[in-house]
A = this chain, B = another copy of it.
Amino acid sequence: MDTHALIRQLVQKNDSKIVMYVADGLGGLPQKPGGKTELETASTPNLDKLAAEGVCGGSIPVAPGIAPGSGPGHLGLFGYDPVEFLIGRGALEATGIGFKLEEGDVAIRANFCTLDSDGNIADRRAGRIPTEESTPIVERLAKEVSISGIETVILPVKEHRFVIVLRGDGLVGNVDDTDPQATGVPPLNPAARDDASQKTAEVCSQLLEQVRKLLADEAKANFCTLRGITGKPSIPSFEEVYGLHAAAIAVYPMYKGLANLVGMDIIGEAQTLDEQMEVLKSVWDKYDFFFIHFKYTDSTGEDGNFDAKVKRTEEYDAAVPAIMELGPDVFIATGDHSTPSMLASHSWHSVPTLLWAENCRCDPATSFGESQCLTGGLGQFEAKHLMTLALANAGRLGKFGA
């Protein structure tokens, strides 16, 4: 079923406000079977109160057993089937450093590599060259590379990784990687996968030729490979699909970038949750939908630090009253995936989710945690349905059929 086609038919506007408050990697695991997860260990009086008044459930980011990255995790929360709407690696890398891709851009993830004297790859990551060494090299490329009729944007990321964006007429991003995924062989030439991408492949070849000359004297980073040569993903906007004027209030570039891909306005320069709440308050009257992103439940989980994740979860909870005093019609607390500190990585486990709204049909859950979410009224559901539920609870969907 094409849920978006259905929603477009049914959407009706009103003056309701929806808040989606995302704790990255929220779901967790107990330290021992039968114990409490990070969320269940944390003291979260504000979320517990909303869980008692609202409805809970377990959100499955993509499909049972699938652990998503930030891209598919957030696309699911935003109501886009994360298997249908794919963000190419180049586009995600550019998005991740906050670059705003435009229609027709082609984004590339580039890796510095080391070529030996025969032109074969000796090190695919240029000895994982430190960021402080790689950044000046990227800046030099940004200054020197020049391709007729094409604007090139070259930006550092971290260590051996950087981003190239090509902007110009007739560029289509369907070109093979040039990384041969092996050493002792030369890099591959950029090969178009379709006729429409021929020009992009030629531009990539010119670019690589210039890079080879410019970096010839570098000890480690004397060349680069190109990966994930992709255009801006074609994703209908929040305004188009849901009729929502949406704002994103995030700290990290990746999440601003993801929100931007679905057409949200990126608001403010907040660096802390308190500052995010100030930004929220300042634009409350101007938007219908607010995506607020909190990173540290994920990063502490990735660090494998159970206690730190508990503490960060408590910070996440402590900011809830600042949202609720603004009077949202629909409040959702969830995560884009689980990041159990016991695994120190993203996982496939369902994500505790609560939806609070006047007519949400309150369930028996009395606090917010993985176990209580199992018997919640939202059941175990695919994340992509959450936006439909948000719209319904906000009175923004008409009846389907007579």
Which residues of A are interface residues toward B (Cβ below 8 A)? 1-3, 6, 10, 29-30, 33-34, 37, 52-53, 58, 62-73, 81-84, 86-87, 89, 92-93, 96, 340, 342-343, 345-350, 359, 361-364, 370-371, 374-381, 385, 387-393, 397-402
In the complex, chain B residues whose CB is within 8 Å of the CB of A393: 65
- Is the beta-carbon distance between A92 and B402 smaller than 8 angstroms? yes
> Can you report 11 A-B residue pairs in the complex whose CB atoms are below 8 A from each other?
A65-B385, A65-B391, A66-B397, A68-B399, A71-B402, A340-B359, A348-B389, A363-B374, A370-B377, A374-B376, A374-B377
Copies in the complex: 2
Least Cβ distance of A343 to chain B in Å? Answer: 6
| Residue numbers in B under 8 Å from A343 (CB-CB) | 359
Please name all residues of chain B whose beta carbon is closer than 8 Å to the beta carbon of A397 when the two chains form the complex: 65-67, 348
Contact check, B359 vs A81: say whether CB atoms are below 8 A apart.
no
- Measured CB to CB, the nearest residue on chain B to A64 is B385
Question: A243 to chain B: closest CB distance in Å?
Answer: 14
Write out the residue numbers on chain B whose beta carbons fall within 8 Å of the beta carbon of A347.
359, 392
Residues of chain B lying within 8 A (CB to CB) of residue A96: 402
Contact A1 B63 (CB under 8 A): yes
* Cα-based distance from A362 to B388 in the complex (angstroms): 30
Question: In the complex, how many angstroms separate the beta carbon of A358 from the nearest chain B beta carbon?
Answer: 8
A371 proximity list for chain B (CB < 8 A): 363-364
Q: Are B362 and A30 in contact (CB under 8 A)?
A: yes
A238 shortest CB reach to chain B, Å: 16
Known: A364-B371, A402-B70. A3 touches B359 (CB 8 A): no
Contact call A33/B53, Cβ cutoff below 8 A: yes
| Cα distance, A25 to B389, chains bound together (Å) | 19
Choose from B30, B378, B401 the contact partner of A72 (Cβ within 8 Å). B401
Bound CA span A64–B120, Å: 55
Give the distance in Å from the alpha carbon of A397 to the alpha carbon of B343 in the complex: 14
Q: Which residues of B contact A1 (CB under 8 A)?
A: 63, 81, 83-84
Contact B66 A10 (CB under 8 A): yes
Distance between Cα atoms of A70 and B401 in the complex (Å): 7
Contact A400 B363 (CB under 8 A): no
CA distance A25 to B340 in the complex (A): 35
**Shortest beta-carbon distance from A92 to chain B in Å:** 5
Q: A62 to chain B: which residues have CB within 8 Å?
A: 6, 400
Which chain B positions have C-beta within 8 A of A29? 359, 361
A6–B376 CB distance below 8 A = no
